[in-house]
Amino acid sequence: MKAWAVREPGPIDSGPLELIEREEPQPGPGEVRVRVSVCGVCRTDLHLAEGDLPPHGHEVVVGHEIVGVVDMLGDGASRLALGQRIGIAWLRWTDGVCRFCRRGDENLCVDPRFTGWDADGGYAQYAVVDERYAYELPEQFSDEKAAPLLCAGIIGYRALRSSELPAGGNLGIYGFGGSAHLAAQVAMAEGAAVFVMTRSAEDRRLATELGAAWVGDTYDRPPEPVDAAITFAPAGEIVPVAMEALDRGATLAVAGIHLTDIPALRYQEDLFQERRLRSVTANTRHDGEEFLRIAARIGIQVETHPYELDRADDALRDLAHDRFSGAAVLRMPPD
């Protein structure tokens, strides 16, 4: 099968990904194999390709927003059926016994596994996963529209809940790519006023079309103090800017898995009056299931830009250089 692997991490313009031929994977006990239809292109894939996240294996195949059809069952797999459409996401395994898993916080598992980092992902024609970590997908979303829901959507949702946005409050969003445009719609559906700060004119257009109450540039101050905020851009220098926009008692959630260094925060101006700063490490399966139900109920709009599998490196370069709004997805070639 065709697959894109990270040969030598480096700047995306230097070509760190290579299109290779690899044997089709075989499912192990409790696993299923998926014939991949599409795979979303996530900023985490870019961090892996460029080495911001150190590789966890040699020539790992990236990609963790996978939609496809089950075409093989491993021994003991019984939850899913042959021919069933499913999704494979970032979180692919937790130990189930550590202190965090036992209390229901599998997002903080001390020995987790991640798709496209610890095991081969979806920039390929086939992928395998423990069936306990696969998602059943709402029928109303096409494969192309479902793929970004599996990380951009789920992690954005986790960040939204972590921001502790009060009912009917003001939400500030910094950066408006694949994840932010989905989280914003959930917040607006629940009655929030969403203020978007982003450098991209195209992203500002999309935010306006989706119903944002106010849209500005990255470092603009929103028209009112915000009751919660989320930073999606992987730039640490935005954190103090977002903290300054918080009202008393408000929380800033940082949604990215990688962030450049945060400049010094000033206690009185940025943190005093019980303002909070918190990170989002991963999600639980409950987060994913809950988000997919909400996405289906509110009819979330997913802005996608398709690329053929042979152009995966182009998709990541375009993501790095902000050449599209929303989310890119890779389409697999026919067998």
The pLDDT tens digits for 34-62 are 999 999 999 999 999 999 998 888 899 99
Task: Verify that 216 and 75 share a domain, yes or no.
Answer: no
Specify whether 148 is located in the same domain as 7: yes
126 with 174, same domain? no
CA distance 232 to 253: 9
Pair 15, 62 in one domain:
yes
Inform me whether the pLDDT recorded for 267 exceeds 80: yes
Residue 169 lies in a domain: yes
Report if residue 61 sits inside a domain: yes
At 141, the pLDDT band (50, 70, 90 cuts) reads very high
Residue 295 lies in a domain: no
Residues 6 and 49 in one domain: yes
269 pLDDT band, cuts 50/70/90, is confident
pLDDT of residue 77: 97
Question: 8 and 55, same structural domain?
Answer: yes
Residues 22 and 81 in one domain: yes
pLDDT score recorded for residue 41: 97
Structure tokens that stand for 19 in this block? 């299109």
Q: What is the pTM assigned to this prediction?
A: 0.95
Mean pLDDT rounded to a whole number for the chain: 96
Q: Which two tokens stand for residue 167?
A: 């009912």
- For residue 95, tell me if it sits in a domain: yes
- Is residue 109 predicted with pLDDT exceeding 90? yes
Do 115 and 249 share a structural domain? no
Which token pair is 40? Answer: 């979303």
- pLDDT one-digit tens code per residue, 215-228: 999 999 999 999 99
Helix (H) or strand (E) holding 35: strand 31-41
Percentage of the chain modeled with pLDDT above 70:
100
Which pLDDT tens digit goes with each residue over 191-246?
A: 999 999 999 999 999 999 999 999 999 999 999 999 999 999 999 999 999 999 99
Under the banding of pLDDT at 50, 70 and 90, the label for residue 316 is very high
Q: Is 244 helix (H, G, I), strand (E, B) or coil?
A: helix
- Rounded-to-integer distance, Cα 73 and Cα 32, Å: 5
* DSSP string of 75-106, one letter each residue: TT--SS-TT-EEEE-SEEE--S-SHHHHTT-G
Measure the CA–CA gap between 229 and 209, rounded to whole angstroms. Answer: 20
pLDDT at residue 105 in the model? 97
If asked whether residues 199 and 104 sit together in one domain, one would say: no
Quick one: pLDDT at residue 256? 86
**Is the pLDDT confidence value at 325 over 80?**
yes
CATH number of the domain that 14 lies in?
3.90.180.10
Domains held by the chain: number: 2
In a domain, 286, yes or no: no
DSSP state of 233: S
Count the neighbouring beta carbons within 10 Å of the beta carbon of residue 305.
17
Domain-located, residue 284: no
Instruction: State the residue range of the domain holding 326.
Output: 2-152+303-331
259 and 175 in a common domain: yes
Report if residue 274 sits inside a domain.
yes
Assess if residue 287 is contained within a domain: no
Pairwise pLDDT comparison (271 vs 290), residue with the higher score: 290
pLDDT confidence of residue 334: 80
Q: Is the pLDDT of residue 335 over 80?
A: no
- Based on the domain organization, do 120 and 213 belong to the same domain? no
Same domain, 211 and 308: no
pLDDT tens sequence across 272-301:
999 999 999 999 999 999 999 999 999 999
| pLDDT for 58 | 84
The whole-angstrom separation of Cα 118 and Cα 128 is 13
Per the listing, tokens 């996405």 go with 295
